Amino acid sequence: MLSGIIFLPSLSATPDPFCALFKLADWKQTIQTDGPPNAIVAFVHGFSDHCNAYYDFFPTLTSYGIEVRALDQRGWGRSVTNKASRGRTGKTEVVMSDLHSFVTSIFDSVKSTASSDTNASPPATPVFIMGHSKGGAEVLYYALNSSLDVPPICGVLAYSPLIALHPSTRPWNLTVFMGRIASRVLPKFQLVQPLNENLMSRDKRVCEEWRQDPLCHDTGTLEGMAGMLDRGTWLDSEHAGKAGQYKGPIWVCHGSADEVNSYEASRRFVERLESDDKTFKSYQGAYHKLHAEPEGVKEALAKDVAEWILKRCGSAVGGGGV
């Protein structure tokens, strides 16, 4: 993944105007259910991705009564207004702060909705967080290693998470070492990291659509790449899941033929996890974008996710919801 990088001109070290732009703009979308939702999922996309690239996955979840709220992360999708803002995610502290703001805004909105009718006392709506690839690692890190005051989420789901890169795409240790040094000197330095579209899905149409999508720009910054790898390194360590404030349900899944992120790292993470409610789901022969995989995988993913969430809604309403 980090081989064959293409460097872009260095950006100015002046205060980042994109930071203010991101905070002021609304890059979220909500896919609503027909009636009151049984649960709400806060969804976080991956690297070189955006929240409008998930095909039927979100609408399928809503058919189960699960509302989906997603956003284009800082530096990705519709939040990008020019080439200078591509991939400018910021350090891990910024990434976690953005995610925290997103999640807490959902809790605030549900509380506001619940209190808008003074004659009714609707049941709490359980809120779950979910992410794909880089976003999968982010939601796990947020729940388990964040210093922020994480609200009472009822479950964490991650698929194809970037805990470790697949051995075939993993950079040399020297490359990583030099990149970390460079990130301290030129943190905002942009680089294009071309991904192999053929590794995304076994559906060639999906691969071609991803390659041609202008919002999937393959661009990151040195500090963003370093933070992404550091979060994965922590998740792949013995410390993961032992020091975090979150001790609730966690569901992780991975395609066994994923050559972008490591299947074994995901399995290892769940094995080490200290939780009474943890699940690792394997999709045999599946590639990286499980939500766009053929041969019944995308349908199975949506069904498995929905059933896992709904099974936990009863206890969540009584104790962990909004």
275 is catalytic: no
Q: Tell me: the pLDDT tens digits for 191-214? A: 777 789 999 999 999 999 988 888
In a domain, 107, yes or no: yes
Number of domains comprising the chain: 1
| Active-site residue (options: 45, 132, 254, 288) | 288
In a domain, 227, yes or no: yes
- The pLDDT value given to residue 6: 34
Residue 174 CB neighbour total at 10 angstroms: 8
Strand 66-71 versus strand 28-31 pairing type? antiparallel
Amino acid at residue number 114: A
In this predicted structure, the answer to whether residue 180 has a pLDDT above a threshold of 80 is no
In a domain, 296, yes or no: yes
Of residues 242, 60, 37, the one with CA closest to residue 128: 37
256 is catalytic: no
- CA distances in angstroms from 278 to 58, 157, 253, 272, 304, listed in the order given: 23, 10, 11, 10, 14
| Active-site residue (options: 48, 79, 85, 133) | 133
By percentage, how much of the chain surpasses pLDDT 90? 47
Query: Residue 68 belongs to a domain with what CATH number?
Result: 3.40.50.1820
Q: Tell me: the pLDDT tens digits for 234-277? A: 999 988 877 677 889 999 999 999 999 999 999 999 999 988 99
The pTM of the full predicted model, rounded to 2 decimals, is 0.84
Q: Tell me: the pLDDT tens digits for 69-105? A: 998 888 776 777 777 776 677 789 989 998 998 999 8
Locate 71 and state its tokens.
Answer: 């956003």
Cα–Cα dist 18/124, whole Å: 36
49 is catalytic: no
In a domain, 51, yes or no: yes
In a domain, 195, yes or no: yes
In a domain, 316, yes or no: no
In a domain, 184, yes or no: yes
Q: Which residue has the higher pLDDT, 28 or 290?
A: 290
Residue-wise DSSP of 298-316 = HHHHHHHHHHHHHHTHHHH
| Active-site residue (options: 258, 262, 266, 291) | 258
Buried residues in 182-205 as b, exposed as e (16+ CB within 10 A) = bbeebbbbbbbbebebebbbbbee
In a domain, 318, yes or no: no
Q: Which domain holds residue 238?
A: 6-10+27-114+123-311
